[in-house]
Structure 1
Amino acid sequence: MKVIEITHPIQEDQYIKEDVAMAFGFFDGMHRGHAKVFETLNQRAEETGLKKAVMTFDPHPSVVLNPERKRTDYLTPIQDKVEIMESYGIDYCLIINFSSKFASVSVEDFIENYIINNHVKECVAGFDFTFGKYGKGNMMILDQVEHFNTTTVYKQERESEKISTTDIRKALKEGELQDANDSLGYRYRIKGTVVQGEKRGRTIGFPTANVEPSDDYVLPKKGVYAVTMEIGPESKLYRGVANVGVKPTFHDPAKAQIVIEVNLFDFDENIYGERVIVYWHHFLRPEIKFDGIDPLVEQMNKDKERAKYLLAVDFGDDLSYNI
Structure 2
Amino acid sequence: MEIIEVTGKPPYNKEPLTMVIGKFDGIHKGHEAILRTARQYMDKENDTLAVMTFSDNPLWVIKQDPNFKRKITRDIDKFDLLERFGFERFYRILFTKEYARTTAETFVLEHLSQLNVKRIIVGEGFRFGSGATSSTDALIGLCKQLKIDVIVVPSIKESGTKISSRHIRALIEDGLLEPAHSLLGRPFTITGKVVHGQKMGRKLGFPTINLGEIDEYVEPKPGVYLGVVGIHQNDVITEYYHVLISAGYRPTVKGEGYLVEAHLLNFSGDLYDKTVSVSFLRFMREEVNFNGLDALIEQMEQDKQDALQLIGQNE
Do the aligned residues in 2 keep the contact of 1:8 with 1:101 (CA within 8 Å)? no
Match of 2:51 in 1: 54
Q: In 2, Cα distance between the equivalents of 1:241 and 1:173?
A: 18
Match of 2:137 in 1: 140
Q: 1:29 aligns with which of 4, 26, 30?
A: 26
Task: Indicate how the Cα distance of structure 1 residues 294 and 129 shifts in structure 2: closer, same or farther if over 3 A, else same.
Answer: same
Q: In 2, Cα distance between the equivalents of 1:247 and 1:65?
A: 33
Do the aligned residues in 2 keep the contact of 1:52 with 1:92 (CA within 8 Å)? yes
Q: Deviations over 1:2-42 (max 9, x none)?
A: 221111143xxx23211111100000011111101101111
Do the aligned residues in 2 keep the contact of 1:226 with 1:311 (CA within 8 Å)? no
Match of 2:248 in 1: 245
Match of 2:170 in 1: 170
Task: Indicate how the Cα distance of structure 1 residues 312 and 16 shifts in structure 2: closer, same or farther if over 3 A, else same.
Answer: farther
Query: Where do 1:146-225 residues align within 5 Å?
Result: 146=144, 147-225=147-225
Do the aligned residues in 1 keep the contact of 2:9 with 2:114 (CA within 8 Å)? no
Q: TM-score, normalised by structure 1?
A: 0.90
Q: In 2, Cα distance between the equivalents of 1:240 and 1:204?
A: 17
Q: TM-score, normalised by structure 2?
A: 0.92
Deviating above 4 A after TM superposition, structure 1's stretches of 4 or more consecutive aligned residues are none
Match of 1:232 in 2: 232
% same residue: 32
Asked if residue 18 in structure 1 is aligned to residue 21 in structure 2, the reply is: no
Match of 1:8 in 2: 8
Q: In 2, Cα distance between the equivalents of 1:76 and 1:106?
A: 28
Do the aligned residues in 2 keep the contact of 1:190 with 1:213 (CA within 8 Å)? no
Q: In 2, Cα distance between the equivalents of 1:120 and 1:35?
A: 21
Q: Deviations over 1:215-263 (max 9, x none)?
A: 51111100001111122314211111010012112217xxx21111111
Match of 2:258 in 1: 258
Q: In 2, Cα distance between the equivalents of 1:307 and 1:272?
A: 24
Q: Which amino acid aligns with 1:59?
A: D
1:114 Cα deviation from its structure 2 partner: 2.8
Match of 1:272 in 2: 272
Q: Which amino acid aligns with 2:223?
A: G
Match of 2:304 in 1: 304
Do the aligned residues in 2 keep the contact of 1:191 with 1:214 (CA within 8 Å)? yes
1:46 Cα deviation from its structure 2 partner: 2.4
